[in-house]
Chain A
Amino acid sequence: MRNINSVKQEFLKKWIWCLRKYSSQKKNMSLLERKKAIKLSADLAMASTRNKTTRWSKALIANASKNSSNKVLTAHVPGSSPPQRVRKSSTNYSHSTRIRSCRRNRAVYRPRDRVVASFIAKKLVQKRTRRLKSLLPGGEFMDDASLVEETLDYVQSLRAQVEVMRCLVTASELMILNPS
């Protein structure tokens, strides 16, 4: 990953740009609408900061562009990709599952208690992997290897996002603190 400061800076820039775009589309939003807009624009900004290099960012943009109301925004985001590309990776996933099922069959020939223990361990890991997949945008189309990789990237960018947002929140809170 690049220098974290430059990432944050780019994120802030894109975020504010997105927000302006969004607010120019709609006036007089309710609180929830505003929140949604803020979150969406922050996510999109983060995704476009990690431009085209990661799958989660692609999936995020693709998901956002599915929603027709967001079209205006996603059309302008650089690096927005068609959802076909995500679907292509789903074939990889099915392939890997086939391999995995093969392995499980082979484990039957081992001694019994070992089979049970390893089976349980594998189950636990699988369950958690599935949960992690559901957490990551576009995670359901990833295989295990890329899942870990993408998680690494995603966590890093989420951290940057949170830091920038927190700064903005404190700034606007201070603004409220000393009102006119």
Chain B
Amino acid sequence: MLHCANASGNLAGDMTVLERQRARMKWQEEQGYFSGFNAVFSSSSSSSLHVQDSLMLAADSGCALGEVVAQAQAQAQTRSMNKPSLAGFDSSSSISRTFSCPPALVEPEPRPRPTDSSFGKECLKKRKPDKLHNAKFVTENDTKDKRIKVGADDEQSKITGSPKSNTKTNSNKREAWADTSNSKQNSKPSEVQNQKPDYIHVRARRGQATDSHSLAERVRREKISERMKYLQDLVPGCNKITGKAGMLDEIINYVQSLQRQVEFLSMKLAAVNPRLEFSVDDLFEKEVFPTSAANFPNIGMSSDLTNSAYLQFNSPQQMVSYGGLDTGINPPCMGLKRSISAHVSMPETYHHSSCFTQMLPSSAWEGDFQNLCNLDFDQVRATSFPSHLSSGLVEAGNHLKMEM
């Protein structure tokens, strides 16, 4: 028999590839027992994960290699003792072996395990049909997996089966197994990787439920905390606060303040505008521009430029059709710059247009403009008119930018 030959070979201390693999599994199991890398067993079918895990474990390990080898050999011993009676049926063999394995594990481990093992046995009785299914599942997976020689396939399936059943000797292992088997049943191999950090997190909560509901809960919680992090970045003054309740408080305050701001601003707008005339575009097209064009014939091409820019700004539909906001804002600036040399009233028109003015008597514009300049720039006591003009231009440009 292949198994017996193999086992005896192992007993002699000859580490074949298979044996090394087994040792590693065993080692991982031990490590998993200590530090919570239980997901190894689910992923034992996928070699890449396996390698990754072993690397991680190697980085983590405080365990001496010799001890591991000894443990593996001890396990091999027990297996070889069991094997003759078990040859013949595949899936059930791994199950029945579980009864013999816990005592074997007690020897190498420094931990007190009797309670655990007894508990595990109880669990085994309860979970027998479940486990049967799982064992079959593992065999299937492993036969699909072609990383081992064909001759050793059967043996490999048993190996993966037996550590797996060993995992059930304590409750945490059981949890891990449930985790991974669930994710397998969902046929999402990537889920296993996703669940890994979860998984460590989960281990802190001992004895919690392992059914699919609580798994979903865990995933959901993870998602929530991730989103909460984003929210933390978004809400000002929230990144110093730890704890969900405090964060939620801050978020609530922020949302409320924003909502109140909207209220307040709409109230202000309603107060400022007696008859809801935000539909400024038609008003402006009809009234302001014809007058300006009529009054200042020497504007020339800059008026055309600003005209088009102005239209872009004031009628949002057109604005959108012209593409981005930046294209909407750039022409006005250009127009402004050109109109510096052109005429005095141009920036004034601009300013008014950006402010959604009602119709103004065009004769009063000059005075208005000067008033505005004086109002806004009291500190710029300029002697000459051109300086006034330029400051006004800057102001107009600022407004334009602000509004966008």
Contacts and interface: CB of A to CB of B under 8 A. Distances in A.
A170 interface: yes
Contacts of A108: none
Given A20-B278, A132-B248, 20 more contacts: A8-B404, A13-B317, A20-B279, A23-B277, A35-B270, A37-B270, A102-B213, A103-B217, A131-B252, A135-B259, A144-B224, A152-B227, A152-B231, A152-B234, A154-B255, A155-B251, A158-B262, A167-B404, A168-B278, A168-B403
B368 A167 contact: no
Nearest to B249: A128
Interface of B: 208-209, 213-214, 217, 220, 223-224, 227-228, 230-231, 234-235, 244-245, 248-249, 251-252, 254-256, 258-259, 261-263, 265-273, 275-280, 316-317, 319-320, 324-326, 328, 352, 354-361, 364, 368, 371-372, 375, 399, 402-404
Interface residues of A, number: 66
Contacts of A38: 266, 269-270, 276
Nearest to A14: B316
Contact of B316 (A13, A37, A103, A165): A13
Contact of B356 (A43, A106, A172): A172
Given A144-B220, A169-B269, A23 B358 contact: no
A39 B375 contact: no
Given A22-B276, A99-B213, A169-B272, A151 B255 contact: yes
A37 B276 contact: yes
B279 A23 contact: yes
Nearest to B326: A5
A152 B230 contact: yes
Contacts of A151: 231, 251, 255
Grouping DSSP codes into helix (H, G, I), strand (E, B) and loop, the B interface class, with mixed when no group exceeds half, is helix
A19 B231 contact: no
Contacts of B317: 13, 17
Contact of B262 (A23, A99, A156, A161): A161
A135 B252 contact: yes
Contacts, number: 181
Interface string A90-109: 00000000010011001000
Contact of B269 (A6, A12, A168): A168
Contacts of A175: 272, 352, 355-358
Contact of A178 (B227, B261, B278, B372): B372
B358 A16 contact: no
A19 B278 contact: yes
Given A135-B256, A155-B254, A166-B265, A125 B227 contact: no
Contacts of B259: 135, 158
Contacts of A174: 355, 399
A165 B248 CA distance: 26
Interface string A137-165: 00000001100110110111011011001
Nearest to A175: B355
A70 B223 CA distance: 37
Interface string A115-127: 0000001001100
Nearest to A18: B278
B270 A31 contact: yes
Contacts of A132: 248, 251-252, 255
Contacts of B399: 171, 174
Contacts of A42: 262, 266
The 4 tightest CB contacts between A and B, nearest first, are: A13-B316, A128-B248, A34-B270, A35-B270
A125 B256 contact: no
Q: Which of A6, A144, A175 has the most CB of B within 10 A?
A: A175
Interface string A1-33: 000011011101101110110110000110110
A129 interface: yes
Contact of B325 (A9, A121, A148, A156): A9
A43 B148 CA distance: 63
A34 B275 CA distance: 8
10 contacts: A9-B404, A13-B316, A13-B317, A13-B320, A23-B275, A35-B269, A102-B213, A151-B231, A156-B234, A168-B265
A113 interface: no
A100 B201 CA distance: 19
A19 B279 contact: yes
A128 B231 CA distance: 15
Given A128-B248, A132-B248, A175-B355, A180 B364 contact: yes
Contacts of A158: 255, 258-259, 262
Contacts of A23: 275-277, 279
